[in-house]
Amino acid sequence: MFPKAAISDYLEISDHPVDNFARELTALEDLDNFVNSIWRVVEQCQTSQIAHNLFLARGRTSGLLRAILWPRRSVYTAKSLSPLDSVAMTNGDSYNIAVAELAGMFVVAGDEVAEQLVQHGGLFKALKHERLSSDVINHLIASLSRDKMQ
């Protein structure tokens, strides 16, 4: 992870296919700043009607708490179980998988789809498909920069 350009309060996972905002809590005294900085991104996403996911994890040995928020494209219909093609959608083999996603699951239709995701860079392609345009991300970063200055 490295400091995010233009807003050095945030870190970024450099090899992730989707733009992201990360923070690390290394000392309990910084808890308010940690929570408030993540909340600023959530609030800006909500204000701009940008869908987003938030992941929190604690290091097993260090006790370090890490938060990663990534803005993503909005989805208003049931998703296909196969992110590589839309055949499942036209066959009616889809359902709302939001609950499984909230639990951290990446749901696929079967072994052949899972194999495609693993062997052909399919997971990277599926995640990259969720990426927002650079204009939207730059607007979000500019909003966070202005918010910090106030």
Residues of the chain with CATH 3.30.70: 1-73+132-150
Closest of 19, 30, 25, 10 to residue 133, by C-alpha: 19
* Cα gap 39→10, rounded to integer Å: 12
Cα 45–chain centre separation: 12
- Report the pLDDT value the prediction gives residue 122, as an integer from 0 to 100: 78
- The 10s digit of each residue's pLDDT in 86-120 is 544 454 555 556 656 666 667 777 788 778 778 77
- Report the pLDDT value the prediction gives residue 96, as an integer from 0 to 100: 57
The structure tokens listed for 31 are 């808890």
pTM value surpassing 0.75: no
pLDDT bracket for residue 4 (50, 70, 90): confident
- Report the pLDDT value the prediction gives residue 71, as an integer from 0 to 100: 92
List the CATH code of the domain at 1-73+132-150. Answer: 3.30.70
- The 10s digit of each residue's pLDDT in 16-68 is 888 999 999 989 999 999 999 999 999 999 999 999 989 898 877 777 899 99
According to DSSP, residue 4 is labeled P
Average pLDDT, the chain: 80
Q: b/e string for 96-124 if b means 16 or more Cβ within 10 A?
A: ebeeeeeeeeeebeeeebeebbeeeebbe
